[in-house]
Amino acid sequence: MSPTDQERQLTTELQALYAWADAEVGACSPRCDASGKCCRFKEYGHRLYLCQIEARHLLQAAPLWTMPADEGGCPFQIDGLCSQRETRPLGCRVYFCDPSFSGAMEAIMEEGIRRLKEITDRHALGWDYASLHTFLNDPARAAITAPPSFNENLPCDTLPRSLPLVS
């Protein structure tokens, strides 16, 4: 399979997983107060974790962010809203502040992670699961190749938007 075909297949499989998760969450109808707490990690004492294929999917479509990224929150929350709604990772799709949803949230997340591992195994990519800020501050970890002149103190607008998979 060519790198381009592999990229398309990964995207298709990841989008199918996200559609499944969205349907599972939708069936439970958890309450969302639209408070933005889910994206203000430090303030509310939580972190967002994702795997490398999710990070790649998110970061390739993301607006520019400054490095090193501030761990206080998600740089893609703009005016209290998610600017990356279509490419947001599983954790964002499943996390709700609604306490009555916590049991279902855990079950959906566990099944989603199992499915993500299957995808990475099927494509022989290895498993790398880390915080969003780990990937923001080290884009190569998301299988995004930074140019040789990459400087961690420069904004990520220096990174090309379409990059090959690192094998």
pLDDT in tens, 39-83: 888 888 889 999 999 999 999 888 888 888 888 999 999 888 889
Lowest mean pLDDT among 31-40, 44-53, 107-116, 137-146: 137-146
Q: How confident is the model at residue 1, as a pLDDT?
A: 63
Average pLDDT score over residue span 34-43: 84
Q: Which residue has the tokens 């969302």?
A: 32
How far apart are the C-alpha atoms of 37 and 132, rounded to whole Å?
A: 16
Contact 7, 60 (CB under 8 A): no
Q: Is 77 helix (H, G, I), strand (E, B) or coil?
A: strand
How far apart are the C-alpha atoms of 77 and 69, rounded to whole Å?
A: 13
Residue 131 pairs in a beta bridge with 49
% of the chain residues with pLDDT over 90: 50
Contact 67, 137 (CB under 8 A): yes
Q: Is 122 helix (H, G, I), strand (E, B) or coil?
A: helix
Global confidence as pTM: 0.82
Q: How confident is the model at residue 119, as a pLDDT?
A: 96
